[in-house]
Structure 1
């Protein structure tokens, strides 16, 4: 398979998967209901305010990454850490998950820090995201425990479905397949000198969390990132009449479910984000058409239009802010 075809498939396959999920979610939607919401219910000024909090959260993420990068090189520029962080999301809108690779490669180009070492700092960045998301999920479940008790009692088919999943032979086949992939990866690392060198560099980057100064600021940034992300989502509840009366705990759980949905490898979490938001809102009594409108309008405005615009702008600014500096890729 030639490189051009691989590049095309990296764009087309995730996009097709995301569009398939959207088609399954929206194929029976009443378009008149969507148009009515767009004309008379959606308050786009409030949605835009939420966008600003999302941009602030990504900027704080850049500051947090700078703390790790500065441990590798005290002279690393903060503006590059911020712009590559924003640019990451712009790239991911076209090439899901490759935005992270672009972020590390571009930072390596402009800072001179080795790719593997920066990759280690990025792993730390994502590890703390997983921890934060896990804590938020736990809090959301605890706050909504009475609701879940009533919901599962009223919908016994969900419990039966999960029981069928974990007793299915396909479940164990998938588990064995994933373990096999992990073993194959470890064997490849053991046989390849290049892979071993990369792993050593990554481990060096991972160790920056130990040697980093101002650890308290790193943790504060982590809290700030997720507070901003939550406000980005929650503020949009006030943009629609059918969500503005939902409780804070309902918003928190919807936000966590949406964040899990972003893990689907599609452009901007397209499809997975919509699925999680729609069905979580419906569980809290929002009508299907209204939940569909909320997911489609908010995701399009925030993830596709605004975040994409900020990301592309950041990518364009990088060579300008570094035009008078030598760039070395070590």
Structure 2
């Protein structure tokens, strides 16, 4: 079994404090920006005697009221969708592990499920650390080699990347106009004293198009030059590391398609279910909050993609970055910034408090009890 480097408790604690500070700092700056915009909006409404004047003295007061007024029924469905995604993730992981050693390892799916929840909990403390805690937890109770489990995590994440890229491509096709308007700084701006939502020039973001276009062109040139000078580049440590990552990616793809036809079907089925549930988490949350309840499936798809980018950035569970991304996505559809910010926090903290923290801690408690007298079948062969 491969040995893993263990951090000292002090180093782990300092890393936790660092990442938590980063997440809270980002969230604070996002809040400060939204607070300033909220106060400006309230002053405008007061000066022009608009209907629906601000009822709250601060954005924080509004957030408290918005949380309290959210529908518990719809938030329950949001949590249910997330937990169903994790059931499918555990079953998909079980299929991958079943491929190891010619099907020698037949694990309990509930061990994979609770190990997954423990991984999410650890991710809140140290971004990406859950990717090690998850297989390490399963290895402890299923007596499996950790290095082999780490290989299945790589394959699992590769499939997630493929699914996310597919969803981004689908969103680009279905919501091209909205994305174009966002990049050009044109968005449905909420008129403070009127109900209709016209398309206005919000700010000039055309530089983003030049940046994306330039980045794409630079990427193509790098690939061409990399192919021409591949022999020389492979002598460099950094190039060897990148090439190794590319080989791991390809090995993960081959692992998926090495599954037998029936197992491949279920692997793809669970992959679709995982990401469908992720989308439903955003869409169902719309109905929990009045200002977003009117939004449709396409809006849910675009906001979901924005939120996914926010989660990918390494802060604790996407804290701060998720709020930035989701708020920007909702503004495209004319939702006021204060309401968009409130929605992003309702969705973020519902999932993290009730699911990641609640079920993560429950996993820590249940795993020793569920495996008290459990002996994996493959260990009996020795």
Corresponding residue number in structure 1 for 2:281:
232
The TM-score with structure 1 as length reference comes to 0.83
Q: 2:118 aligns with which of 67, 87, 96?
A: 87
Corresponding residue number in structure 2 for 1:282:
331
Corresponding residue number in structure 1 for 2:46:
none
2: CA distance between counterparts of 1:6 and 1:283? 42
Corresponding residue number in structure 2 for 1:184:
237
CA RMSD of aligned residues (A): 3.2
Corresponding residue number in structure 2 for 1:43:
71
- Tell me, yes or no, if structure 1 residue 24 matches structure 2 residue 29: yes
Report the alpha carbon displacement of residue 305 of structure 1 after superposing the two structures with TM.
3.1
**Closer, same or farther in 2 for the Cα pair 1:317/1:145, shift >3 Å?**
same
SS at match of 2:287: helix
CA contact (8 A) 1:119 1:202 kept: no
Report the alpha carbon displacement of residue 161 of structure 1 after superposing the two structures with TM.
4.9
CA deviations 1:80-130 (Å, max 9, x no partner) are: 112111221111122221111011112222223222211111111111111
Report the alpha carbon displacement of residue 207 of structure 1 after superposing the two structures with TM.
5.9
Report the alpha carbon displacement of residue 55 of structure 1 after superposing the two structures with TM.
0.6
**Closer, same or farther in 2 for the Cα pair 1:304/1:166, shift >3 Å?**
farther
Q: Which moved more, 1:85-94 or 1:145-154?
A: 145-154
Corresponding residue number in structure 2 for 1:120:
151
2: CA distance between counterparts of 1:61 and 1:151? 33
Corresponding residue number in structure 2 for 1:15:
20
Corresponding residue number in structure 1 for 2:365:
316
Q: 1:52 aligns with which of 72, 77, 80?
A: 80
Corresponding residue number in structure 2 for 1:192:
none
**Closer, same or farther in 2 for the Cα pair 1:187/1:3, shift >3 Å?**
farther
1: CA distance between counterparts of 2:323 and 2:29? 11
> What are the ranges of 5 or more consecutive residues in structure 2 without an aligned counterpart?
1-6, 36-58, 187-200, 227-232
Report the alpha carbon displacement of residue 280 of structure 1 after superposing the two structures with TM.
0.7
SS at match of 1:93: helix
- Tell me, yes or no, if structure 1 residue 129 matches structure 2 residue 134: no
CA contact (8 A) 1:128 1:222 kept: yes
CA deviations 1:160-197 (Å, max 9, x no partner) are: 256469879xx99xx9xxx99x95367689xxxxxx9x
> What are the ranges of 5 or more consecutive residues in structure 1 without an aligned counterpart?
190-195
Please list, as runs of the form range in 1=range in 2, the aligned pairs for 1:184-263 lying within 5 A after superposition.
184=237, 208-213=255-260, 214-263=263-312
SS at match of 1:253: helix
1: CA distance between counterparts of 2:366 and 2:238? 37
Corresponding residue number in structure 1 for 2:180:
149
Bigger helix fraction: 1
- Tell me, yes or no, if structure 1 residue 159 matches structure 2 residue 164: no
CA deviations 1:276-305 (Å, max 9, x no partner) are: 101111121110110111111221111233
Q: Which moved more, 1:305-314 or 1:244-253?
A: 305-314
CA contact (8 A) 1:123 1:206 kept: no
1: CA distance between counterparts of 2:174 and 2:252? 37
1: CA distance between counterparts of 2:241 and 2:164? 31
2: CA distance between counterparts of 1:249 and 1:206? 30
Q: Find the structure with the greater CA-based Rg.
A: 2
Alignment length (residue pairs) = 310
1: CA distance between counterparts of 2:284 and 2:150? 33
1: CA distance between counterparts of 2:329 and 2:252? 38
2: CA distance between counterparts of 1:185 and 1:319? 42
Report the alpha carbon displacement of residue 132 of structure 1 after superposing the two structures with TM.
0.8
CA contact (8 A) 1:116 1:205 kept: no
**Closer, same or farther in 2 for the Cα pair 1:202/1:235, shift >3 Å?**
closer
The TM-score with structure 2 as length reference comes to 0.73
